[in-house]
Structure 1
Amino acid sequence: MTALTAVHDPEDYSARNLSVLEGLEAVRKRPGMYVGSTDSRGLTHCMWEIIDNAVDEALGGHCTRIDVVLHSDGSVEVQDNGRGIPVDIEPKSGLSGIELVMTKLHAGGKFGSGSYNASGGLHGVGASVVNALSSRFDVEVDRQGYTHAISFRRGIAGRFLAEGPDAEFTAQAGVERLGRVGGDATGTRIRFWADREIFLKEADITRESLLDRARQTAFLVPGLTIAVRDERSDSEEVYEEEFRFDGGISEFCGYLASDEPVSDVLRIQGAGNFTETVPVLDEDGHMTPTDVERQLDVDIALRWGNGYDSTVRSFVNVIATPKGGTHITGFERALVRTVNEQLRNAKLLKANDDAVTKEDVLEGITAVVTVRLAEPQFEGQTKEILGTSPVSRIVSQVVSKELREFLTSTKRREKQQARTVLEKVRDAAKARLAARQQRETQRRKNALESSALPSKLVDCRNEGFERSELFIVEGDSALGTAKLARDSEFQALLPIRGKILNVQKSSVADMLKNAECAAILQVIGAGSGKSFDLDSARYGRVILMADADVDGAHIRCLLLTLIYRYMRPMLEAGRVYAAVPPLHRIELTNVGKKKRGAKPQDRYIYTYTDAELQRNLLELEKKGLSWKEPVQRYKGLGEMDADQLAETTMDPRHRTLRRIKVEHAEEAASMFGLLMGNEVAPRREFIAQGAQELDVNRIDT
């Protein structure tokens, strides 16, 4: 790497102003270029550069177990039972294999030498970069009947005279032979301490991220055992977990799916060849462009479910590509083209119907897309996007062929599933078109000008977005009281009749047909699902106002299910609230005798739970105050007078609102699925387990 020194006078600018960073200096100077960042993400990337080298041994059939240890002193240790890094002398450099791999950028066995047909470490900078960014880096290799060892400090080979990264260090080249190993034992052990001169003090490797990726890798390499050990806990207990999955990506696809299956897991496998022109080092040390024949192996597992979200994970040689690349482009293109073709053949789409889109085909799909090839071209060292162009064509051909066979199968089970998948995609397209048509009529100005809003909406006068509030009110009786209690300047009311449709168990089309659900979407005016536009919402707040009983709680849950599935950005923005109406009203009878200058409103005390009622009654009894018997218990919002409803529930100066948040989306989705979904058995089990904790006295009867 060549650096330029800033010089203000052009006449003083000469070759002496140029500096060259030798060896690993470039890595330490610009660490973000190689590991992405110097925070926890970059530190985790370093760990996986070492683990991925061991995984490459497993891909080649030379390794069956990888152990990862997070030590209490902050170091990370990775051990495998692969072939071990070569320890003999490399003739051109005069260095041992270990020193060459650990100190020279772009050195390794993954550059067409035949050592690896497909690997995740492709640029030859992984281990050397981690070495450069470590205050101490220890390597032990079991090979040729001996254990060979070498250590490094910030990329410099040598010997540490004690444990830990701060021990006295002597620079010294060469590998030390420690002792013999029994039998044919081979393998590599690497332990490194991240250099805190480079990484931020708070940079850390989270156990959850390690476990997630270890599990993922075990799915992608069937038969490989990955053991994780975390010794960093303050307690004496050490966390340990092992992963091994012989089912491969079919099992991974089932693990990722969270909805009810519409089809079995479909396994798509195939291969193709392409020619690639790459620079190859000849005997004279010159780089010569050479045509190389490559083979691409495609392995995909996918299934459709009855949900609406899509989950697509992609990998190249077990390295995740979260931003996709040419393999995902080919996969999606083949899906859309083949499904459209079969929808036409099955007469599910008429000649004048619009073709289904990628969004329709991917609705409810869970897929794991993996490809393997030698020397793939990534965009950057972090390998987030695959750039090898011919991959798109080959993946598209394989997917088209295999998917067409499934969708045209004459086997009874596959034929039934194929029909269900095609109908699901067609219905998704219909729902998308219906939602778009509805969205186009939902803008506030157009709605007001055309009087297209529901007639039962009691709108507010103020069009100011931030202050406006929409109260979704349970029942027409409560609506009448709320009309008198509201501030018409900024508070709008929309009544609903009882319990709305349970959208967790219904399709998008059924939801749009439901009058109550459609009215809510239309009044809020921001669309639904993936097309929901938070900035287009007509109100700054949506407040659910239901009775303080079991039915009211159920109605709130149904409304939240609708908002969670189709208007989730409102929850994430903290703009959905639940009103908190009182449950009781205590009317004092002798307050005027005890309190001079008492106001009329001082005669009433509102309570919100039975426990709060009992506490207030005890306090009043101690003060010698009496009250009217029996204490009024509100059975619904309609029983309250307008002034009572305003004072307790709607007036911003006195009311209490409960903000509804989604802190953990996956957990929330799981709970909504449990409480409102199609599976009855888990819900029955949940109710049975909770029955023992139920306070019978709290049930409204």
Structure 2
Amino acid sequence: MAIPNYDESSIRVLKGLEPVRQRPGMYTRTDHPLHILQEVIDNAADEALAGHANLLKVCLHTDGSISVEDNGRGIPVGEHPEEKSPVVELVFTRLHAGGKFDKKDGGAYAFSGGLHGVGVSVTNALSTRLEVEVKRDAATHLIVFSGGDVITPLHEVSKVGRRNTGTRVRVWPDATYFDSPAIPMGELIHVLRSKAVLLSGVTVQLTNEKTGDSREWCYQNGLRGYLEETLEQPDYIVPLFEGQQYAPADDDDYSEGEGAHWVVAWTADGAVVRESYVNLISTSAGGTHEAGLRDGLFNAVKSFAELHSLIPKGVRLLPEDVFARASFVLSAKILDPQFQGQIKERLNSRDAVRMISAFVRNALELTLHANVDTAKKLADYAIKHAQARARSAQRVEKRKSSGVAVLPGKLTDCESQDVTRTELFLVEGDSAGGSAKMGRDKSYQAILPLRGKVLNSWEVHKDRLFANQEIHDVSVAIGVDPHGPGDTVDLSGLRYGRICILSDADVDGSHIQVLLLTLFFKHFPRLIEEGNIFVARPPLFRLDVPAVGKRAARKIYCLDLAELEGAQDKLRSEGIKESQWSVSRFKGLGEMSAEQLWDTTMNPDTRRLLPVRYGDLGLKGTETIFDMLMGRGEAAQRRTWLEEKGNLADIDV
């Protein structure tokens, strides 16, 4: 087979919006066009959040287009001082161009959901046509795009009153980029309704020209009315708990205006409703702000119960005991939110845990001590849940107790036996294992240090596996015997719900990951199918940033060089000089302190944990790749593969 040339002509530079059209899934959801529409809706909502708009209109037109209109300030139409193009054109044609990066002295948007500057430019890139009509400076201006390119330059259409301002964006999504061209009405209604809830006093309208239907939402009662309406009059254990707190101008830890508004309801039955938002952006996958709410609720209830000696001897309260029947709507305001990915489903900002936990705990403790009877009901509910959980764990232990193998001596086990909570970390090296033991949460996290590299078990028969001590220890620790893809296997002995591979962020660590993944894929495939195997991602770099203004000193962890460069670019944009921060590189997990290891790789609220799945190749395709990579007689095939794919590797030197 001819080897393709790899020379200077092989390098292609994607310009403008071309990267979006090449890989749309990296920037947005591609199952339907709702998310590219949400980018426009979010921009209109940000105008309302900033206090400049009180009306947001969405219309589904008969020709398949969708328009979003607000009565805000209108996108600037003048020429950009550096780029020498109209600002409205830059916003829709340049990635990473927008008005939400400047946070100094408030900026144009002190708090906003869109922070990446790729939102509406992605909308433009994935649309056959896009029209922007701006009312600003006593005139109506129009610019038209097709496939991301300007086809009608910005021009003035008519004169209007100086106070008549706003933006109207009409989008024709390109169906070739989406699995379905239809907008899911249920999801769209939920998005618009939630905007009205979070923007108290703002009117949100939806019109469907195809059906003639129109809807309007305007909530004066905010989050409380929304949660009560969604729960449909359930049996409340205690009255709703509502609170809000935002940092004042003289706060030492947080920027002025940062904080949250929340409503929590504990119900005896029915479905649990949990919705969270950051700067009006729906975070359906949760994140650190939800972790802060959970932590604050738990600590307040636990503190009250301990103060009044309500907890029976031998009962240990856990966060899930307080949170199990809690419904909530949480709206957080974060000055510089860090989301997981462009679609912003999950908040990753570490400071949000501490901030919201403190605000919620203080507010709930005041409420509990002011209403002792109600507080005792809530504490009693949490205690009963803890007792039921303990009884369930004991029943499981009785079924497991006969014939259990002797656990490995180097295994540092956890206290809990609830498989839905327990985690086992397979840690590279004894020194890292020591830090992990000190940094873990011993109630549900166990540590098994591995000495050296595990045997390549791809061509080892399962009956011979236990001749290797490391593999023997792994199998006994997890409580499952080796098996093949088609074997019947008993998983009732599984001791940990999550089995996490934790190795150094270097080439040797990657090799250990591959060897362990080979072991699990070949000899424990049911654990992969059931979603029990994970890979922890420790950072390679740490940025130490000094205190600047009201913002306290902080440590920023970066997985790789790309994240490090992105973090440094962000610090520069904040006006911090390069000489003020320092960069450290971790040579391995053994160099990290217990606190650092907990914060970056073991704390469920801040860690990065990747679930192991078969992916697009499926079982058979994955097996073929493993056979080529790990088989002893496949050296020639591996060499060919390396010649073809070697340029894709990141070399660690």
Secondary structure of 2:145's partner?
strand
CA displacement, residues 578-609 of structure 1 (integer Å, 9 cap, x when unaligned)? xxxxxxxxxxxxxxxxxxxxxxxxxxxxxxxx
**Cα distance, 1:344 vs. partner?**
1.8
Q: How far is 1:263 from its partner?
A: 2.3
Say whether the 8 Å CA contact 1:110–1:375 is kept in structure 2.
no
- 1:209 corresponds to which residue? 187
Query: Partner residue of 2:239?
Result: 264
Q: Which residue of 2 aligns with 1:245?
A: 219
**SS of residue in 1 equivalent to 2:177:** coil
Q: Secondary structure in 2 aligned to 1:344?
A: helix
Asked if residue 326 in structure 1 is aligned to residue 282 in structure 2, the reply is no
Kept after mapping to 2: 8 A contact 1:272/1:394: no
Task: State the one-letter code of the partner of 1:52.
Answer: D
**Alignment-derived partner of residue 360 in structure 1:** 321
Is the aligned partner of 1:222 residue 2:200? Answer: yes
2:27 matched residue in structure 1: 34
**Aligned partner (choices 130, 138, 155) of residue 123 of structure 2:** 130
Task: Give the TM-score taking structure 2 as reference length.
Answer: 0.58
* Residue 387 of structure 2 corresponds to residue 430 of structure 1: yes
User: CA contact under 8 A between 1:84 and 1:142: conserved in structure 2?
Assistant: yes
Among 177, 181, 205, which residue is 2:160 paired with? 181
Deviation of 1:31 after TM superposition, in Å, equals 0.6
What is residue 91 of structure 2 aligned with on the other side? 101
Match of residue 57 from structure 1? 47
AA partner of residue 201 (structure 2): G
Query: Residue deviations 1:25-77, cap 9 Å, x none?
Result: 1111111111132x22xx11011110110000000111111110111211111
Deviation at 1:269, TM superposition (A): 1.9
SS at 2:12's partner residue?
strand
Amino acid of the structure 2 residue aligned with 1:99: E
The answer to whether structure 1 residue 8 and structure 2 residue 3 are counterparts is: yes
The letter for the 1-side match of 2:47 is: E
Partners of 2:193 and 2:220 in 1: CA distance: 12
In structure 1, what is the Cα distance between the partners aligned to 2:176 and 2:330? Answer: 39
* RMSD of equivalent CA atoms: 2.7
| Identity of matched residues, % | 35
Deviations 1:138-170 (A, max 9, x none): 1101111111001000111113xxxxxxxxxxx
Match of 2:581 in 1: none
Secondary structure of the 2:176 match is: coil
Q: Which of 322, 331, 349 is the aligned partner of 1:370?
A: 331
Q: Which structure ranks higher in relative contact order (CA pairs < 8 Å, sequence separation ≥ 6)?
A: 2
SS of equivalent to 1:16: helix
Contact map agreement 2:301 2:378 (CA 8 A) in 1: no
Equivalent runs, 1:75-474 vs 2, <5 Å = 75-112=65-102, 114-159=107-152, 174-182=153-161, 184-200=163-179, 202-233=180-211, 238-258=212-232, 259-272=234-247, 296-307=258-269, 310-350=272-312, 352-409=313-370, 414-440=371-397
- Once the two structures are superposed, residues 218-254 of structure 1 have per-residue CA deviations (whole angstroms, 9 ceiling, x without a partner) of 1111011111111233xxxx11110110111122222
Amino acid in structure 2 at the alignment position of 1:402: A
Separation (CA, whole Å) in 1 of partners of 2:111 and 2:318? 34
8 Å Cα contact 1:135-1:195 kept in structure 2:
yes
Distance 1:295 1:223, change over 3 A: closer
Q: Which amino acid aligns with 1:155?
A: G
Distance 1:27-1:428 versus aligned 2 partners, 3 A rule: same
Report the CA distance shift for 1:421/1:309 in structure 2 as closer, same or farther (over 3 A): farther
Name the CA distance, whole Å, in 1 between partners of 2:265 and 2:209: 39
Structure 2: 5+ residue runs without aligned partners? 404-489, 493-653
In the alignment, which residue of structure 2 is the partner of 1:584? Answer: none
CA 1:204–1:7 in structure 2 vs 1: closer, same or farther (change >3 Å)? farther
1:271 touches 1:297 (CA, 8 Å); kept in 2? Answer: yes
Matching residue of 2:36: 46
AA of the residue aligned to 1:254 = E
Task: Look up the equivalent residue of 2:50 and give its one-letter code.
Answer: G
Q: Which has the greater radius of gyration?
A: 1
Deviations 1:338-383 (CA, angstroms, capped at 9, x unpaired): 2222212222203x32222222111321111221122211111000
Q: Are the structure 2 counterparts of residues 36 and 180 from structure 1 closer, same or farther at C-alpha, using a change threshold of 3 Å?
A: same
CA–CA separation in structure 2 for the residues paired with 1:210 and 1:333: 31
Which segment is superposed worse, 60-69 or 326-335?
326-335
Aligned length, in residue pairs: 400
The 4+ residue runs of structure 1 with deviation greater than 6 A are: 442-446
Partners of 2:2 and 2:342 in 1: CA distance: 32
